[in-house]
Amino acid sequence: MSTTQLLIFLFERIDNISQFIAGFYFLRCLDCCLERRKGKLLFFITWIVCSAIASFVIFPQDATNITGIFLLFLLLNLVLYHGKWIIKLSMILILLPISAALNLLVMDIGGYLFFLYFTEQDALENTIFSTLFYSIAVIFWIVFYRLFHKNLTEIRNTFTTRAWYMISIICTASFVGIFTCVYFSPDTTWYIWPCTFACIITNVGSIRLAAYLADGIHADLERKNLQLQKNYYEELEQNQKQIRKFRHDMNNHLSVVGYLLQKGELQKARDYFDKISVYMQTANRKFCENSVVNAVLNAKYNLMTDAKIDGFFHISIDKLLFIDDVSLCTLFANTLDNAIEACQKIEAPDRRKLELKCRYTENGYFSLELINSKINEIVVQKNQYISDKEDKSAHGIGISSIRDIVEKYEGTLDISYDDTSFKVVILIGG
């Protein structure tokens, strides 16, 4: 083997290693937003496919390669990754234009520079240029992962289905753009360089934009969390005031009971004592161990009591860990607010009924069922529940918030109703 052949062999092996390194960081980017199927064999298959996607050779008017890589990427997401189809589609629309545009630019610009000084017969120089191409891909995907993996993870943890639709629509422009550049590239290929570069910038910018939106959503969740904590402490303070007031009046209550007993009015004494017991229980209701959720439930239960609604709560979620407090309280608050509002429209207090059952099972499922009485007509337009509130901007917001949380945790929401009752059932698996 000559020295030239040996160098070509070494550079080709460096190319192979570079492809796998680029593929590894491409895989890490995918893992930020999608859950990969477990297993060592599946991992290596995923790694090999990602290596092909991250470093495939593509030239102007090379419709076969770019179409084949698209189908390979689609198959990879469908077979080797879990998750919602919209997230899988979004990752294709985000990452494929970046990879295709990068490889097209490097190959076309590299080929232009190569043929300025060399010919196809210069095998060693051709191999060196190929190594430089793969090195650029490696550097790009390492830097890309370092810069954006936190953004991608935050997007995954925060984005709702509607937000994923939005980012998909934005990135569709780059997806169509890069395919158009490749399919209909003119003979003077440098004309498409600005458009190709713009595809990379657009999708990288879309990731940053999505990260800013995720930060805003996260900040809103933090604000809601602080509001929930504030409600909890206000409820706690109110309960403490009731207890202090009760203790202050205890002597008077005991005097009244003692007086009734001395007069032999046992039934009146018993009735009075029952009222005291109910009052004391009201100040110390404990629906669950989660103090913040308990405060929300207490606040809603007080509203039910004031509205003379016959309510029943059965809550068993003490071991629930995978749903955060803000999401959990939002589910309870919105479902109960809607139910209380519906019950208040019923003129006869004895017909106002509300029943809430919620539990976390040993096999990892969270279930919530709320049934309330109603008399108002239910109006549904374009899968949106329209209330009869005077504030038109508030129509359907409660149900929409509930649906967003259920989608976030990949659960199911079932709503049913008849002329006299309304039922909401939520099921979320851990």
What is the domain-level CATH number for residue 371?
A: 3.30.565.10
Q: Name the percent of the chain lying above pLDDT 90.
A: 39
Mean pLDDT of the chain: 85
- Output the DSSP codes for 59-124: -TT-HHHHHHHHHHHHHHHHHHEES-HHHHHHHHHHHHHHHHHHHHHHHHHHHHHHHHH--TT-HH
Confidence band of 143 (pLDDT split at 50, 70, 90):
very high
pTM: 0.70
**How many domains is the chain built from?**
2
Question: For 88-121, how does the pLDDT look when each residue is reduced to its tens digit (9 = 90+)?
Answer: 999 999 999 999 999 999 888 888 888 888 777 7
CB neighbourhood size of 137 (10 A):
25
Examine the domain organization and report whether 215 and 362 are in the same domain.
no
Give Rg (Cα) of the chain.
32
Q: Residue 281 falls within a domain, yes or no?
A: no
Confidence band of 285 (pLDDT split at 50, 70, 90):
confident
Q: Residue 42 falls within a domain, yes or no?
A: yes
Q: Residue 404 falls within a domain, yes or no?
A: yes
Examine the domain organization and report whether 49 and 170 are in the same domain.
yes
Structural domain for 112, as ranges: 3-220
Examine the domain organization and report whether 216 and 290 are in the same domain.
no
Examine the domain organization and report whether 177 and 38 are in the same domain.
yes
Q: Residue 18 falls within a domain, yes or no?
A: yes
Examine the domain organization and report whether 209 and 312 are in the same domain.
no
Q: Residue 275 falls within a domain, yes or no?
A: no
Examine the domain organization and report whether 177 and 325 are in the same domain.
no
Amino acid, single-letter form, for residue 114:
F
Domain boundary residue among 220, 237, 257? Answer: 220
Domain boundary residue among 220, 238, 253? Answer: 220
Q: Residue 244 falls within a domain, yes or no?
A: no
Examine the domain organization and report whether 182 and 41 are in the same domain.
yes
Domain boundary residue among 220, 251, 275? Answer: 220
Q: With both helix axes pointing from N to C terminus, report the angle between 85-117 and 161-183 in degrees, rounded to the nearest 10.
A: 30
Answer whether residue 394 shows pLDDT above 60: no
Q: Residue 257 falls within a domain, yes or no?
A: no
Examine the domain organization and report whether 186 and 295 are in the same domain.
no
CB neighbourhood size of 146 (10 A):
11
